[in-house]
Amino acid sequence: MAARPLVMVGISGGVDSAVAALLLREAGHEVQGLHMTNWEVDDAYCTAAADYQSARQVCADLGIPLHRANFSAAYRDQVFSSFLAEYAAGRTPNPDVLCNREIKFGAFLEHARRLGAGMIATGHYARGGATSGGRLLLARDTAKDQTYFLHAVEPSALAVTLFPLGDLTKEEVRSLANRAGLANFDRPDSTGICFIGERPFREFLSGYLSGTPGPILACEGEHLGEHSGLIHYTIGQRSGIGIGGRSSGGDAAWYVVAKDIARNALVVAQGRGHPALWSRVLTTGPPHWLRAIPDPCSLRGLRARIRHRHAPAACEITTAEDGSLRLLFADSQWAVAPGQYAVLYTDDECVGGAVIETAAPV
């Protein structure tokens, strides 16, 4: 009987990756851990040192070796530089998607193979991977499902990846960690930008990009005030716009509906139900497919998520000559943001996705 391949688990220091390693070890796999450092700016918000110490404790508790690798240069070149370029262009990027493709399932996988691993595993909430021929399937815990962020990973990487948490809820994961005596069983979930963490975002972004102040305009053209730079706003944003009290227009909140780059203007509308916030059609760049899509007919029946935790919505998908997509939704979608991703699903499978380029009411 052939020996099982070594499984290298990405150990972040959090409870999810710890339980992923625990479950694989209990299932009889040879397991080792690999902790990644991808952000080295030493400030009050950086948790890299604490994360590493937690990862060390996890591997000590589980009795498995822990390796350490620094991918911060690759992260800056392949993820963070794109993140800044997208913001500078007036779009709303999602760095977690690139981080998964380039770092967690790119540089990490290559390094794991150099260490002798035949497979990798993560604490993502998803199913499939190596157990389903490389398919990417929704997690049982739909509130924690992370397939939206995994849709751009190469199928060859998914084919050698295990997702031990795919059939568990977060509560079950913490319970398993507690019963196993893992010290990090109640460690808070990480939040914020992938590897950069939770921090005052406007202040952070201003350290890399200069926002040019300009006018805030109502959809109808009325001048309402001044913004501090388009980089600080996104479609659908409600708080922090900076429109003071007005004698007319009622008490409904103002929302960002567009960023007019040519005029350096922030366009806003009053009320969440304003028509300018709703789109039935969007266009994308060329898609990344996780499995073969042989002809346009195979796009029938797919549903699309326009953001994480958004319910996949029914749409009609057509393909342009350059490979880009046009999605016409059965029902209008709220606050579609260029730079984010339209991720496509069958009933329980993520089949790919693409960057959103434009959105319109019809």
Is 69 within the bounds of a domain? yes
Full domain range(s) for residue 341: 277-360
Is 189 within the bounds of a domain? no
Which residue is catalytic, options 99, 219, 297, 315? 99
- pLDDT (tens digit per residue) in 152-164: 999 999 999 999 9
**Are residues 21 and 145 located together in one domain of the fold?**
yes
**Are residues 283 and 326 located together in one domain of the fold?**
yes
- pLDDT (tens digit per residue) in 34-70: 999 988 766 555 677 888 999 999 999 999 999 999 9
**Are residues 133 and 163 located together in one domain of the fold?**
yes
Structure tokens at 2: 């052939």
194 classed as catalytic: yes
Question: Of 272, 301, 325, which residue sits at a domain end?
Answer: 272
- pLDDT (tens digit per residue) in 234-250: 999 998 898 865 555 67
Is 186 within the bounds of a domain? no
Is 22 within the bounds of a domain? yes
Q: Number of folded domains in the chain? A: 3
**Are residues 65 and 121 located together in one domain of the fold?**
yes
**Are residues 164 and 247 located together in one domain of the fold?**
no
In contact, 336 and 306? CB cutoff 8 Å: yes
**Are residues 263 and 282 located together in one domain of the fold?**
no
Which residue is catalytic, options 194, 219, 297, 350? 194
**Are residues 214 and 306 located together in one domain of the fold?**
no
**Are residues 17 and 81 located together in one domain of the fold?**
yes
Is 193 within the bounds of a domain? no
**Are residues 137 and 216 located together in one domain of the fold?**
no
Is 200 within the bounds of a domain? no
